[in-house]
Amino acid sequence: MTLVGVVGAGVMGVGVAQNLAQTGHDVILVDKDEETLREALTLIERNCRMSRLMGGPEVDAAAVLARITTGVGAKQVAGAEIVIENVTENWDVKRAVHEEMDAACGPETVFVVNTSAIPITKIAAVTGRPDRVVGVHFMNPVPAKPAVELIPGFHTSPDTVERTRDLLTAMGKKAVQVKDSCGFVSNRVLMLTVNEAAFLVHEGVASAADVDEVFRSCFGHPMGPLETADLIGVDTILYSVEVLYEHYADSKYRPCPLLKQMTDAGLHGRKSGRGFHDYDPSGRLVSAGSAN
């Protein structure tokens, strides 16, 4: 049975670890401190118990948790065959983590970069295994989303792509392979949409609730762009837009000031209880349109 390392126990890392454990994989989940890991396990247990209520399958929380062990520091994934990195969309942080992973893991270990914007080739270049580094852009919530973007870097080997695709298939994911380009497909489009929706609220054109209602009622979207921002994390949206702006040097990616203000204020969306909308501790929407 494949032992998979999951580095980063935030929203995405929790989802990846849960998805892996639900599909029979042994997982070593690591982060920078024990408190973060305790909170992650609590969240995984809650998500498993809530799965049926949220329209998903019935999940045995005890069985999922039994497949997950935890550790502090990226070096704890040294024994994993594949490591999935899920740390924040910050180049300095990602670089440091991959350097630590590279020093700890054997040469055959595959590094999967879960990023929404940073080019895979750039990350692979700081390791001694560029042929064993590949990108996978998981969507949130990970256990519920059936597809991912699979992104080989410039040096990624066919064997690495095949091993990663096999793991994704075992996780129940359809892998859509795209070229290595900042933002890939989904976030080249999505981040522009969310950023422009934030500008509408920032400029007083419409409330957050009304912006989302237009997308739900007029276009038939199950979730509006600002609800989506809250689900992903307003801070993550900002970091991703900033990466796009820096990479392409194109004014169309200029981050909305409201995203910066909300991030500084701790209004990060569902994970903080408040973003463009308000949420209860289970993540359910309780009040639309907080950020107006």
> Known binder of ligand: residue 273?
no
Residue 187 is a catalytic residue: yes
The DSSP code sequence of 148-181 is: EEEEE-TT--HHHHHHHHHHHHHTT-EEEE----
> Known binder of ligand: residue 251?
no
Q: Which of 116, 207, 240, 290 is catalytic?
A: 116
Q: Which of 47, 51, 114, 187 is catalytic?
A: 187
> Known binder of ligand: residue 153?
no
Contact assessment for residue 268 and residue 233, using Cβ atoms and an 8 Å cutoff: yes
The verdict on whether omega for the bond into residue 141 sits within 30 degrees of 0, i.e. cis, is yes
Q: Which of 19, 47, 51, 137 is catalytic?
A: 137
- Buried b / exposed e along 277-292 (16+ C-beta atoms within 10 A): bbbeeebeeeebbbbe
> Known binder of ligand: residue 11?
yes
Residue 149 is a catalytic residue: yes
> Known binder of ligand: residue 252?
no
Q: Which of 85, 149, 227, 242 is catalytic?
A: 149
What's the CA gap between 217 and 288, in Å, rounded?
A: 15
> Known binder of ligand: residue 9?
yes
Q: Tokens 């900042």 label which residue?
A: 182
> Known binder of ligand: residue 10?
yes
Residue 114 is a catalytic residue: no
> Known binder of ligand: residue 31?
yes
Question: Among 241, 236, 239, which Cα is nearest to 254's?
Answer: 241
Residue 51 is a catalytic residue: no
> Known binder of ligand: residue 89?
yes
If phi > 0 it is left, if psi is from -120 to 50 it is alpha, else beta; for residue 47 that is: alpha
> Known binder of ligand: residue 250?
no
Binding site for NAD(+): which residues? 8-13, 31, 89, 94, 116, 140, 271
Binding site: which residues? 8-13, 31, 89, 94, 116, 140, 271
Catalytic positions are 116, 137, 149, 187
